[in-house]
Chains A and B, each alone.
Chain A
Amino acid sequence: MNIHTFLAPPAETARRTGPHDRIVLSSRVRLARNLRDFSFPGWAKKAERLTVVDLIRPAVEQLPELAGCFSESMDKLSALDKQILVERHLISREHAARGAGSALALNREETLCVMINEEDHLRMQALRPGLQLRHAWEAVDAVDSQLEQKLNYAFSLELGYLTACPTNLGTGIRVSAMLHLPGLVLADQINAIVQSVSKLGLAVRGLYGEGSEALGNIFQVSNQRTLGETEPAIVERLEKVLTQIIEHEDNARTNLLEQRPKILFNQIGRAYGILTNAHIITSKEAINMLSFMRLGADLGMFPATARALTDELFILTQPAHLQRLHTGKLSADERDLVRADMIRERLKTMERPTPPPPPAPSPAAD
């Protein structure tokens, strides 16, 4: 089976919706599990890793949740295939670097992804659009409960599920959400938020890096502690914090609109200007500009279809996705040209942003 025909086209994934998806791009819950009788993947020899894959893969493929799934050994995927999966946030970069002795299973809906022999023998994750942490937890919990009947997990009464890295010990759970926070960035409040969230034992990271200069104003919030707390408690805590961040982001947007609209319109207008006129654009600049366009769409400055289009371009402008549309190998410089061409073409009919109608004390005013 071919991963390209299996994956939904970006235009389709960009139309998936979920609660609070204006701000929360996606929710994810991941569980780490290991088999009792084998060394962890990073330490096991290749033969042992292959044995582990042979044990786990059939068990995973038989899950009803994964009926008709894409299941493949990592050495059967090309570097480009793997990079596409990374850009879709379906597998980790670490997993993409692996070959024989590691495998991947992904369900039809792309909501459930199992990595075999990543850092742990099993890393299963449930993904949902928008803020749906609880649903994601329930889904991955159900998968785990079925797998535990077929596989001998490494589990200790005191320490819980044993993982290759002590940071995942206990529940092996990582609950995370990807957030789009341009309002907090523009209002200069993001650092304060990042710091207060860190104090709660949660981690905040940028899309592709650390710190506040996150690419495309996209941030990930996740739990860091996995031991000494139950899974539902972790999910609930994260959900509470996220609800607050959403509120802060909404407030920041409202305040910007009221108090510093020119700053806001300037950013969005410039982003539109660059995207519709550039002939050379790096993926970093593209993401940053698309972020402001998405904000413009959220604020009603673009037609309603603009949101899905920017989300689609978020995916399509990534290096591997661009490369896939072209037969010859593109250099980074060539990609920047091709990327700019594609964005201009896709935004050809997109009208210039217009400042949104003043918000709602008198809803009749238009």
Chain B
Amino acid sequence: MKCCVCKEREATVHLTQIAGDKIQKLDLCEECARSKGVNDPTGFSLADLLLGLGASQEMEQAAAATKGGELKCPRCGFTQADYKKAGRLGCPDCYQTFAEGLKSLLKTMHKGPRHIGKAPEQLRRHLDFKRHLAQLQRQLAQAIETEDFEQAAVLRDEIKHLTAKPAPASAPRK
């Protein structure tokens, strides 16, 4: 049996991981096993590796489905083939480049498709600001609809005041 990473040397390290009701098997040659840190005492790389290899298959399928040929990250030049080799992406932008292929993978890998945890504070403030503004605008529209012009004027001034001040943070890149 050939090693599933380098596809060259004979696989001598065989690993099985059970996560939930999924069984994943992995056959590696000694060299790849070592370079992937299979014996790593902090031991997290194996799961990453397994899932990473799974991801490359998903990405291939997605690419085949869109008939787009091989995807390449415009910023860092990373390709699907590279992902298959490394199980890691090239740069932050790769998440956009390979978004299609990653989508279903992320779903099986994680609890939900959206991040709901910590965010950098600057961004958080910016988001709060935007949310607040949107809320005021909604209220304004409602006030106009119900012809509550007094309230509408108050809201209009508040929005003006809010937007006149520079936003607490410049819009972060997506």
Contact = CB atoms under 8 A, between A and B. Distances in A.
Interface of A: 34, 36, 38-40, 42-43, 86-87, 89, 92-94, 97, 119, 141, 144-145, 148-149, 153-162, 164-171, 173-174, 176, 195, 198-199, 201, 203, 205-211, 220, 222, 224-231
B115 A208 contact: no
B165 interface: no
A207 B41 contact: yes
Interface of B: 15-21, 35, 37-48, 51-52, 55, 76, 78, 82, 86-92, 95, 102, 105-106, 109-123, 127, 172-174
**Nearest 4 CB-CB pairs, A to B?**
A228-B112, A160-B115, A154-B92, A227-B110
B87 A159 contact: no
A163 to B, nearest CB: 8
9 contacts: A86-B41, A87-B41, A93-B39, A94-B37, A157-B127, A159-B95, A165-B88, A227-B114, A228-B112
Contacts of A220: 42-43
A225 B90 contact: no
Majority SS at the chain A contact face: loop
Nearest to A219: B43
B102 A166 contact: yes
Contacts of A34: 92
- B21, B35, B39, B115: residue with the most chain A Cβ atoms closer than 10 Å: B115
B39 A43 contact: no
A173 B174 CA distance: 21
B47 A203 contact: yes
A99 to B, nearest CB: 15
Contacts of A211: 16
Contacts of A229: 110-112, 116-117
Contacts of A119: 45, 88
B89 A40 contact: yes
Nearest to A157: B174
Contact of A43 (B18, B46, B78, B112): B78
Nearest to B42: A92
A167 B48 contact: yes
A224 B41 contact: no
Nearest to A158: B114
Contacts of B86: 42-43
A166 B117 contact: no
Nearest to B22: A198
B100 to A, nearest CB: 13
A258 to B, nearest CB: 32
Contacts of B122: 148-149
Contacts of B38: 210
Contacts of A170: 110, 115, 117
Contacts of A226: 110
A40 B18 contact: no
Contacts of B21: 199
A39 B109 contact: no
Contacts of A155: 119-120, 123, 172
Given A93-B39, A227-B110, A198 B19 contact: yes
Contacts of A156: 92, 95, 115, 174
B40 A224 contact: no
- A39, A168, A199: residue with the most chain B Cβ atoms closer than 10 Å: A39
- A92, A166, A208: residue with the most chain B Cβ atoms closer than 10 Å: A166
Given A89-B41, A205-B43, A231 B90 contact: no
Contacts of A222: 44
Given A160-B117, A225-B109, 17 more contacts: A40-B91, A40-B92, A42-B86, A43-B78, A86-B41, A94-B45, A148-B120, A158-B115, A159-B106, A165-B52, A165-B89, A166-B105, A195-B18, A201-B19, A201-B20, A203-B47, A210-B38
